[in-house]
Amino acid sequence: MVSAKLPIPLSFFKKNHMKSKLIIIIRPLILLSILFLITSYKANSQGILRGKIIDAETGEELIGATMMIKGTAIGAATDLDGNYTISSIEPGTYTFLCQFISYDTQVFDNVEINDGKVTIINVKLSTVSVGLDEVEIKAKMENRTEAALLTVQKKSANVIDGISAQQMSRSGDSEAAGALRRVTGVNVEGGKYVYVRGLSDRYSKTTLNGADIPGLDPNRNTVQMDIFPTNLIDNIIVYKTFSPDQPGDYTGGLINIVTKDFPEEFTLQFGLRLGYNTQASFNNNFISYQGSPTDFLGYDNGFRNIPTAAQDGIPVYPSQRAKLTNISSDFNKIMAPVKMPSAMNESFQFSVGNQLS
């Protein structure tokens, strides 16, 4: 048996190599084409919802109104022309909600979305109508701060200046006289009498919450400012010009003391102020008088009371000389000043407040 090996031509190997190479290139292209066809079919099987949302009364387009599928986050908002479009909706039956701020929500039930079709829903939204009872809003301007006082100055038709409770608490002044020293154009004489714009206190006037108040000194027109504690004051306003709504019996300035309102809750305050004078404090030869031990509290404990014998009147007839002598002997015989050690200048403050309803 004779076997012979025939030589395989080189062209045969070249053809087979080209075929395998072509198969490798074509196979991915076929897979991509199939995937594209599946995706295109799926896209064509989804529906679209579009329409326009306007105001039911005016017909104006509502910008930013939303159309949503109920229970999902799928939806769209209207554009500048009031149009909306919701794409890629799976075929089926849905409930849509149309909403916008201050408008009633509209519900569209049983809306069918078909394959590759466009469903149109145009909406007219009506405004929400809510009936309210009468509403009364009350507000009170806060005048105790520095910013509030500046606002009052800005809006006032008069030339005014002043000091607020906030500034007084910062400076530590215990009475109105000390606080007024910090107001521009105001001077305080003797710790209690006020000079405005360089004019004497007789040309100034003081009011309390806009009402006239008498002074303790009958020889002066102004009120002693050291009797008003700062913890009871909201602000002090100094009017330096005139207006028809102000009194006409001053030329220097009008000082209006505005007190605080009744406290909304229980308040209790106590203050102590000390002052030192290099010429008077702790002086062993200080000239004073023999007074009541309670003078520092502002009242007499009975040391200066009129004797009992004189309470029925002073006798005027010569036959009553003996009674007159007895009355004279009952008065304190020490009329001259006395020397005693001096202490520091002291002042105390105490206030309590509450509202009872």
Residues 232-258: pLDDT tens digits?
A: 899 999 999 888 888 888 888 899 999
Q: What is d(CA 222, CA 257) in angstroms, rounded to the nearest whole number? A: 13
Q: What is d(CA 330, CA 305) in angstroms, rounded to the nearest whole number? A: 11
Classify domain 47-125 by CATH number: 2.60.40.1120
Residues 314-331: pLDDT tens digits?
A: 777 777 777 777 777 777
146-261 shares the fold of 47-125: no
* In the chain, beta strands by DSSP E: 47-55, 66-69, 75-77, 83-89, 92-99, 106-113, 118-120, 123-125, 160-164, 186-189, 193-196, 204-208, 211-212, 233-239, 253-259, 267-275, 286-288, 338-340, 345-353
Per domain, the residue ranges of the chain are: 47-125, 146-261, 271-353
Q: pTM of this prediction?
A: 0.49
CATH class of 146-261: mainly beta
Q: What is d(CA 296, CA 72) in angstroms, rounded to the nearest whole number? A: 81
Residues 255-307: pLDDT tens digits?
A: 999 998 887 788 888 878 788 888 888 888 888 887 888 887 777 887 777 77
